[in-house]
Structure 1
């Protein structure tokens, strides 16, 4: 049975509400929760971008047993790898061992704020691989010194090191990232229900390890309202990650998606309250072999009604798959 997760979307909710929502998600019966780590929302209509790591610390203490995970953190620009390792170790301790560290190569949207430019995808993958090596070395204990192509580390050590350290997940979108994840990761992360991604991960050392996916949905008893809200906040989705990773800010996402119509979004995102539509969106991930799937409910203010509906209708139906 696929485990179903709740997504804390920092782009559409403030920090206090995010913590209240994840408490509600645990009460509703979700199997785990993930959090996005952004400096900007994709679109101005989303309206938020609190610090994900601060929210995680609060969520770790506010929940009792719900597993937590970054989906995903970029450990190469806004954060140095040694800082990510320290943050992850701290959340693992605060949560009593319920945290997993999801990593990715990042988006220009969030990382350009450091003023270091935005290199080609191949360079970003090199940086991610080197960052993961540093994080794994710090999780192993002791002092770490590293002189690499992209990062320097001078006698770093985690003084509060959990046992076990957080499992590491790596986001994949093609052969290069699958190879990287297979070498270094305890689990694989993907947003497309493509079996080839899981196969590539398995072929490079990931066989038997969990695969975690994610999809956006938009619940509302009024389907037209759901379609309108999905279009307002997620019309950027159709650009695909190869394009979206390059755009520098909300204005660029608005310009790139200006010709996307509500009906275009509704073809990608299940909207309304028909359980069958949501099952249809989840089924490809099940068939591709994913073990876990985090759902994104689009619309910050809709979370309480969504959680109530999920507890009574959606989650029981999904567990029948």
Structure 2
């Protein structure tokens, strides 16, 4: 049975707004929360970028829903040992309801300390070693590690959960899906790609969870909703590896100038067409996903939550439902 959650966008909303959305999501009937982990927003129009670990601590006090990072890059901006401590504390604060989504990241966030941005294959090597380091630290035992990319000396986590947080590995191509199947406790990918899901499962993922997400822009005026989605999130339609290699919000703004409203309209559900929202979310379940997280673009959050509470979530859970 597919779990339907709400995706909190740290790039677009203030900390107070994110906490309000978490409460509203739980009241609307969403079953879980996901949250982005960024140092920068994708563009200045989005305008926010709060520290995810502070947000998870606050979320643990206002919501009983599980929380997953979608996703954290544990490679450069913060050492895997520090990420392990943050994740362990998050798992304790949430009573074991924290899942640690991991990926190879974007230069947008990871270049800030002046490190060179490695190519994708090297970042996957770094991610595999980072996972090894974090799993050892989650045991609560003293750990020393001297590897190709990371050194840890006499480190021990004293605040650890009863069970280590599951590590869900993100990927958008066959190599990353294979890595996720080999080292992850689950798989994260943001398009309803049944072939990638199958690749993950064949590579060792078996019946482990597959997690995805999508953005929508609910509104009673579809044309206005489309303009909002284009203004705030045109970057989502950039092709290839641009999202991984562009270093600043200004670069994303320049590249996103090539993205038209028609391109956004083809990719993002905008407006209040119930069938369109249902189809977009159900597509993930049809591709074999276990969890789907929906993010509402723009300021009309309460209208979105009312719409999903009364129309979409009942329809997703019971296709025969008619409100």
1:30 and 1:80 map into 2 onto residues whose CA distance is: 33
Q: 1:268 is matched with which residue?
A: 267
Unaligned runs of 5+ in 1: none
Aligned to 1:111, what secondary structure does the other structure show?
A: helix
**5 Å matches for 1:216-227?**
216-227=215-226
Aligned to 1:315, what secondary structure does the other structure show?
A: helix
2:239 and 2:277 map into 1 onto residues whose CA distance is: 21
Contact 2:88 2:165 in 1 (8 A): yes
Q: 2:48 is matched with which residue?
A: 48
2:59 and 2:141 map into 1 onto residues whose CA distance is: 29
Provide Cα deviations, 1:270-315, integer angstroms capped at 9, x if missing partner: 000011111221232122100110011111x222221122111121
Q: 1:284 is matched with which residue?
A: 283
Q: 1:91 is matched with which residue?
A: 90
Q: Cα offset for 1:215?
A: 0.7
Provide Cα deviations, 1:188-215, integer angstroms capped at 9, x if missing partner: 1001111121112112211011100011
**5 Å matches for 1:293-304?**
293-299=292-298, 301-304=299-302
Q: Cα offset for 1:241?
A: 5.6
1:130 and 1:176 map into 2 onto residues whose CA distance is: 16
Unaligned runs of 5+ in 2: none
Aligned to 2:65, what secondary structure does the other structure show?
A: coil
Q: 1:178 is matched with which residue?
A: 177
Aligned length: 319
Contact 1:102 1:170 in 2 (8 A): yes
Aligned to 1:141, what secondary structure does the other structure show?
A: coil
Give the TM-score normalised by the residue count of structure 1: 0.97
Give the TM-score normalised by the residue count of structure 2: 0.96
- Which is worse superposed, 197-206 or 150-159? 197-206
1:306 and 1:115 map into 2 onto residues whose CA distance is: 40
**5 Å matches for 1:190-229?**
190-229=189-228
Indicate the RMSD between aligned Cα atoms, in angstroms: 1.2
Q: 1:319 is matched with which residue?
A: 317
- Structure 1's consecutive aligned runs of 4 or more residues displaced over 4 angstroms after TM superposition are none
Q: 1:166 is matched with which residue?
A: 165
Q: Structure 1 residue 237 and structure 2 residue 236: aligned?
A: yes
Q: Cα offset for 1:224?
A: 1.2
Q: 1:17 is matched with which residue?
A: 17
